[in-house]
Structure 1
């Protein structure tokens, strides 16, 4: 009788704890949905359309040079093109560059994006309009690269990999269709970034890892760590007086709409940049705890916590290094100037372009470090109240995800 009563109490405890955790996540999800609906963007494309230069596809058909100055020695490179799309589709055109300029190298057969330019005298007789080079067409190469990436994910992770790719697609849609447009539309940047990131985190974990106790612990750890990261990003962006004006794109956005919060965009970037690493760490820690519990159901809270923390410390050391290298890579031009001795350490760190990366790295790292013990404790607590059958089920579905 006592044994049955203990089993009944244990079942009630499991239901109450896991049910409460799931109810909390459901409330967060509902709040996130309401926030996204309330702060959805409107009219951004029209307001910022002049920032983006419209262009058409074109193919390079020839390259030569010709005199273009007062003397024969003044020569210009002439790139002959065939326009492949838009109103000028089928027409011939020319792009003219100064031979001593810093224009990118092009070759016959290259695929370009071009825009109509002011006509240059002397080309009308050839039936050629003048164009400016906007950029290269990178779509085909990017599709091949993404295809290779997707194949490797599917080969390694199979169904889990497919679900992870679906989560990746949804994440990109949330960033491109909600987070960035809403901030540009004047909505509170921190609130937008948090709501969008919460949606990304919960959807990605649920798709790749299901809705079991392991995923619940990872979601709770991600939510808490993300909120900490957002608070730190907002505080230290203000404390270090970062403006978001370090890049050329910022001036284009400011010209299009002086009211746009560039500082808000900077904070949002820090939050989103940290999210992928937080997801990785929280899922890893939760998976480790449940694997330990499944391997030895006799382990208590302290043993589960200690065993998973041993793994977490190694994971944090490697991931923090990844964060630092990623942000350093994006600032290589400035770092090269710094390394050349043209700038002292204090001057280099005082540059906003460098300070942005320093703040982003440290904020993300603090959130990452905090996520490890918090998620590990939550997972250990839930694992102790998880049935043997569910533990085996969780252990059978390993840690595989794409961010």
Structure 2
């Protein structure tokens, strides 16, 4: 009784001759070890069940806006009854204030705006103070901003207005359209599937993960469930249903678990608070949120994209090597694939590090002007958090490469000795 089945490699066309002589024809179909395949599918089935259970158990029961209004504090103003965010057209831009840059009552660093038709308070013309950098951004007459309109308890008094944000929908729309066009033009169907997966991932984060975290669900648990749910859909949607994709998925899930475990240990050992900016301080008013746990969640999600990248690459590398050398041992295939993986690790680590440098550029500049040695600054909450995030994500990424490669080498079995003897004869 044979303990193997055949699965064609990604580049194989037609049935292939099955011997892998290397004459420029089709690659040999990849033989799949039955035992390894069964174990892989069983593990993924358990992971899927756990993911579905987590989605149900931590499904957010309420609305974050209602909870924030009841909690009081700075966050309550954004969810208080009657508060709206009307659009308004800029009528006049006053120059930024001199000296310390703060408004002095003379109208500097302010905008005169008119609330748009169809909005609550339509037609109101008001002056709102803005930070000096808003003036410096190039905002001019005819641009649109979003206001925060807060009604007063006395209906006879006018509502108060304050600046909330500059409307940038036009730029975001044309940039998004360009992104979609470029992806579809270059990647075609695979690009379309990638966009579908991206949309699904965004939906999971916005409509499940964030509400669940605001509801007080454990951050690391929510991160694991969210990441697993996204990867189950994204990988199979983008790369198709196959054992090669399943191998990459298993490697990704193992990498996620490793990242989460190392992250929890590092956050606790470094005594990080998880609150490094004003946004965290505002969220603290929501009530019982564990910010160390939320930082652990952030570590997992931050490394998800690059983790998926290296695991699918390693699974594909093993599949192609096995198809090209069906007689090679599992150790030989693993060793060859790891040579590819090492190159990928080096380039991906650069990607992670410089991506974080880019996002934390202002923070790094601020720390630089303190004129203190780097080793002294590295213990500050803001910089230590970024360092931990970078190192934990990188460690999880590096460990996922040999894990995925080993799983793929076990799944993609060598040609049985009997078949080799038949070919030789």
The alignment's TM-score, normalised by the length of structure 1, stands at 0.83
Deviates further, 361-370 or 42-51: 42-51
**3-state SS of paired residue (1:94):** strand
Contact (CA 8 Å) 1:117, 1:130: kept in 2 or not? yes
Contact map agreement 2:129 2:163 (CA 8 A) in 1: no
In structure 2, the gaps of 5 or more residues are 7-31, 70-75, 96-103, 153-157, 417-425
**What is the count of residue pairs matched by the alignment?**
363
Displacement of 1:306: 1.8
Partner residue, 2:135? 104
Which structure carries more helix by proportion?
1
1:208-260 CA deviation, whole Å, 9 max, x = no partner?
111211111101111111101000111111111111111101111112x2311
Q: 3-state DSSP class of the match of 2:140?
A: coil
Distance 1:227 1:386, change over 3 A: farther
Given that residues 327 and 415 in structure 2 are in contact (C-alpha distance below 8 angstroms), is that contact kept between their aligned partners in structure 1?
Answer: no
Q: Indicate whether 1:197 and 2:227 are aligned.
A: yes
Cα deviations by residue, 1:113-155 (Å, 9 ceiling, x for unpaired): 0123699xxxxxxxx9863211011222112212211222212
- Matches for 1:64-75 after TM superposition, within 5 Å: 75=106
Matches of 2:150 and 2:39 in 1, distance apart? 63
- CA shift for structure 1 position 11: 3.9
1:64–1:226 Cα change, 3 Å? closer
Report deviation, 1:377.
1.1
Match of 2:4 among 5, 10, 16: 10
For the aligned residues, what is the CA RMSD? 2.6
Give, in whole Å, the separation in 2 of the partners of 1:386 and 1:153: 39
Counterpart mapping for 1:1-400 below 5 A: 8-11=2-5, 14-43=33-62, 44-49=64-69, 50=76, 52=78, 54-63=84-93, 75-77=106-108, 79-84=111-116, 85-89=118-122, 91-97=123-129, 103-105=134-136, 106-116=139-149, 131-255=161-285, 257-340=286-369, 342-384=371-413
Distance 1:74 1:234, change over 3 A: closer
CA distance in 2, matches of 1:14, 1:386: 10
Contact 1:229 1:367 in 2 (8 A): yes
Question: Judging changes above 3 Å, is the alpha-carbon distance between structure 1 residues 339 and 80 closer, same or farther for their aligned structure 2 residues?
Answer: closer
Higher mean displacement: 341-350 or 34-43 = 341-350
Instruction: Check whether the contact 1:60–1:79 (CA below 8 A) recurs between aligned residues.
Output: yes
C-alpha separation in 2, matches of 1:325 and 1:281: 17
Q: CA deviation at 1:103?
A: 4.5
Unaligned ranges ≥5, structure 1: 66-72, 120-127, 388-403
TM-score under structure 2 length normalisation: 0.79
Measure, in 2, the Cα distance between the counterparts of 1:346 and 1:118: 50
Range with greater deviation from structure 2 (321-330 or 49-58) = 49-58
1:281 Cα deviation after fit: 0.6
